[in-house]
C-alpha cells in the first residue's frame, strides 16, 4: 500500500509538471489542465493510501466523510464557476483564492489547537504562520473580489497605518504564542491572531489602487503557494511542497511581469498614494471635443485600408466581443484589414481580454501585443478605442505629474484618426482625465460599445 501510494505521489508530481508545461501551449492547454486535474486526484488518493497504511486503527467513517466532503465541494465549486460570466474571471479567481486561503487557515488552526501533536518549535511556528497567512489571504482575496465587482469602493483614511499596525500586532502575537505559550490564554491569543490577520488582510487589499488589482491577485495567489509550501513541510508531504512552489513561482513571475507592463514596482503598489486627489469635476472637464456618429464612422471605414480596434474592459462589459468579430468579417469582406491591439493589462488581468476575444472566435494572428501594435498603429488609417481609457491615456507619456506617468500605453495617436467609443466622459479605473480625447485627430462617439458596433455594422451592410 505504501509503495502504491508513493508511486501515486510520483505519478501525480509528473502529471503536475507535464500539465504545467502543456499549459504554455494555447492549443493543447485544455489537455494540460486535464493533466493537472488527474494529478490532483491521484495525489489525494495516494495520500489516503499512505496514511491508511501507516496509521493503525484508522477510522473508515472518516474516509467516507472525506469523500463526501470532496464530492460536495466539487459540486459547489462547479456551480460557482459556471455561475459567473467570462468577463468576471478575475473576480472568480480571487474568490477561489480566498477559499484556498481559508481552507489553509482552518487546517493550520486545527494543528495549532492540537497541543498533543505539536512537538517541536518549527512545527508550531509553521502552524501559526499558516493560520496568519491563511486568514490574511482569505480576507484580502475577498476584498479584492468585492473591489473588482465594484461593490467595495471605500477609501479609508490612514489605511496604511492600520495595515502596518495590524501586521505588527499579528507578528507579536505569533511570537508570544511561540515563546511564552500559556495554556490559559492560548485560545484567546489564537483567536486574536485570527482577528488581526483578517483585519490586516482587509487593509492590505484596500490599500491597493484599483488599477493595480491584477498585481494584488497575483501576489495573493503567490501567498497561497507559500502557505502550501510551509504546510507541506509540516505534513511532510513532498507533493504539497512541490505544488506550493509551483504556485508561488507563478505568483512571483506574473507579479514581476505585470509590474513591468504597468511600469510600477511592488513597493509602489503597496506604499503608493491610494487616494486619487483629482476630483471628478477635474477628471471630466474637457474643452475641445469633436463628436462623431456611427454613420460617419461607417463612412470613414469604407475609405480606409487598415483599421485597429483597441478593446478595453468596457467592451467586455457591453458584451460586444461577438459583434467585433462580425465587424471584422464584414471589413475583411470589403478588403479592409482589421487588427486588435491588446494592452497587457487591458481588462482586469493580463490575458483577460485575449480570452474574451478568443471566445468570440477572433484568431491569434489578428491580435497584436503592445510593441507590435504600436508599430502597426503608425501605418493605421483609423483606430477605434472601444471601452478602453487608461491604457490609451497620453498623460502616461506627457504629464510627469500624472499618477499613471511612465505606464506604457497603446499609442493610438499615431493612427491617422482615432475614434473613442465611450458612453460618457467618466474617467477610467485610474480616475484621471484623458488628454487623448482632446487630440487633434480624435473624435468621440458617445454610444454604448455594443450599440455603436451594431449601428456601424448596419450602416456598412446597407
Q: Which residues are catalytic?
A: 390
- Bridge partners of 442, per DSSP, are 418
Pick from 8, 36, 376, 387: which binds another protein (CB under 8 A)? Answer: 36
Question: Which of 3, 2, 11 has its CA nearest to residue 242?
Answer: 11
User: Position of cell 505539536?
Assistant: 118
The window from 80-88, 304-312, 414-422, 451-459 that contacts another protein (CB under 8 A) reads 80-88
Q: Is 406 left (phi over 0), alpha (psi -120 to 50) or beta?
A: left
**Residue placing its CB nearer to another protein in the complex, 230 or 421:** 230
**Residue placing its CB nearer to another protein in the complex, 407 or 444:** 407
Total interface residues for another protein by CB under 8 A: 121
Q: List the interface residues with another protein, window 292-331 (CB under 8 A).
A: 322, 325-326, 329
Asked if residue 138 lies in contact with residue 102, where contact means CB atoms within 8 angstroms, the answer is yes
The window from 47-55, 275-283, 418-426, 451-459 that contacts another protein (CB under 8 A) reads 47-55
Residues 6+ apart with CB under 8 A from 136: 101, 170, 197, 198, 200, 201, 204, 223
**Position 195 contacts another protein (CB under 8 A):** no
Q: List the interface residues with another protein, window 214-273 (CB under 8 A).
A: 217-218, 221, 224-225, 227-229, 231-254, 257
Pick from 7, 14, 37, 271: which binds another protein (CB under 8 A)? Answer: 37
Min dist. Cβ of residue 97 to another protein (A): 5
**Residue placing its CB nearer to another protein in the complex, 76 or 295:** 76
**Position 1 contacts another protein (CB under 8 A):** no
Min dist. Cβ of residue 123 to another protein (A): 11
Q: How far is CA 435 from CA 213, 350, 438, in A?
A: 24, 25, 5
The window from 76-84, 264-272, 301-309, 312-320 that contacts another protein (CB under 8 A) reads 76-84
Using N-to-C axis directions, what is the helix angle for 352-359 and 89-113, rounded to 10°?
130
Q: List the interface residues with another protein, window 354-413 (CB under 8 A).
A: 354-355, 358-361, 363-364, 367, 369
Half-sphere exposure of 223 (CA within 13 A, CB side): 30
**Position 100 contacts another protein (CB under 8 A):** yes
**Residue placing its CB nearer to another protein in the complex, 96 or 186:** 96
Asked if residue 433 lies in contact with residue 366, where contact means CB atoms within 8 angstroms, the answer is no
DSSP-assigned letter for residue 340: E
The SS3 of residue 310 is: strand
Amino acid at each position: 500500500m505504501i509503495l502504491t501510494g508513493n508511486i501515486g505521489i510520483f505519478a501525480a508530481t509528473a502529471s503536475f509538471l507535464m500539465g504545467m508545461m502543456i499549459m504554455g501551449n494555447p492549443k493543447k492547454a485544455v489537455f494540460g489542465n486535464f493533466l493537472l486535474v488527474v494529478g490532483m486526484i491521484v495525489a489525494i488518493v495516494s495520500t489516503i493510501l499512505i496514511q491508511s497504511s501507516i496509521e493503525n486503527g484508522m477510522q473508515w467513517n472518516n474516509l467516507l466523510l472525506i469523500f463526501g466532503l470532496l464530492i460536495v465541494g466539487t459540486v459547489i465549486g462547479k456551480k460557482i464557476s459556471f455561475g459567473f460570466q467570462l468577463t468576471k474571471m478575475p473576480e472568480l479567481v480571487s474568490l477561489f483564492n480566498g477559499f484556498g486561503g481559508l481552507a489553509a487557515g482552518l487546517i493550520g488552526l486545527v494543528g495549532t489547537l492540537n497541543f498533543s501533536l505539536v512537538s517541536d518549535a518549527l512545527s508550531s511556528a509553521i502552524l501559526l504562520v499558516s493560520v496568519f497567512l491563511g486568514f490574511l489571504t482569505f480576507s484580502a482575496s475577498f476584498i479584492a473580489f468585492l473591489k473588482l465587482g465594484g461593490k467595495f469602493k471605500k477609501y479609508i483614511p490612514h489605511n496604511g497605518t492600520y495595515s502596518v499596525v495590524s501586521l505588527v500586532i499579528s507578528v507579536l502575537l505569533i511570537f508570544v504564542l511561540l515563546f511564552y505559550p500559556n495554556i490559559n490564554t492560548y485560545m484567546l491569543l489564537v483567536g486574536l491572531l485570527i482577528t488581526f490577520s483578517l483585519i490586516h488582510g482587509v487593509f492590505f487589499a484596500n490599500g491597493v489602487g484599483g488599477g493595480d488589482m491584477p498585481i494584488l491577485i497575483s501576489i495573493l495567489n503567490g501567498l497561497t503557494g507559500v502557505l502550501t509550501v510551509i504546510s507541506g513541510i509540516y505534513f511532510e508531504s513532498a507533493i504539497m511542497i512541490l505544488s506550493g512552489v509551483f504556485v508561488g513561482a507563478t505568483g512571483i513571475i506574473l507579479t514581476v511581469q505585470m509590474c513591468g507592463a504597468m511600469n510600477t514596482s511592488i513597493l509602489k503598489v503597496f506604499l503608493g498614494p491610494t487616494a486619487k486627489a483629482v476630483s471628478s469635476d477635474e477628471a471630466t472637464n474637457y474643452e475641445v471635443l469633436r463628436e462623431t456618429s456611427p454613420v460617419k464612422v461607417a463612412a470613414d471605414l469604407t475609405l480606409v485600408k487598415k483599421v485597429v480596434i483597441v478593446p478595453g474592459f468596457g467592451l467586455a462589459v457591453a458584451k460586444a466581443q461577438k459583434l467585433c468579430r462580425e465587424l471584422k468579417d464584414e471589413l475583411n469582406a470589403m478588403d479592409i484589414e482589421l487588427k486588435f491591439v491588446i494592452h497587457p493589462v487591458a481588462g482586469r488581468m493580463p490575458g483577460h481580454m485575449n480570452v474574451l476575444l478568443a471566445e468570440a472566435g477572433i484568431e491569434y494572428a489578428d491580435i497584436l501585443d503592445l510593441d507590435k501594435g504600436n508599430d502597426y498603429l503608425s501605418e493605421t488609417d483609423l483606430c477605434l478605442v472601444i471601452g478602453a481609457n487608461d491604457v490609451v491615456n497620453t498623460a502616461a507619456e506627457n504629464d510627469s505629474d500624472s499618477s499613471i506617468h511612465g505606464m506604457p500605453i497603446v499609442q493610438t495617436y499615431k493612427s491617422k484618426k482615432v475614434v473613442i467609443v465611450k458612453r460618457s466622459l467618466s474617467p477610467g479605473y485610474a480616475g484621471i482625465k484623458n488628454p487623448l480625447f482632446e487630440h487633434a485627430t480624435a473624435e468621440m462617439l458617445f454610444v454604448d460599445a455594443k450599440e455603436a458596433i451594431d449601428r456601424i455594422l448596419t450602416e456598412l451592410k446597407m
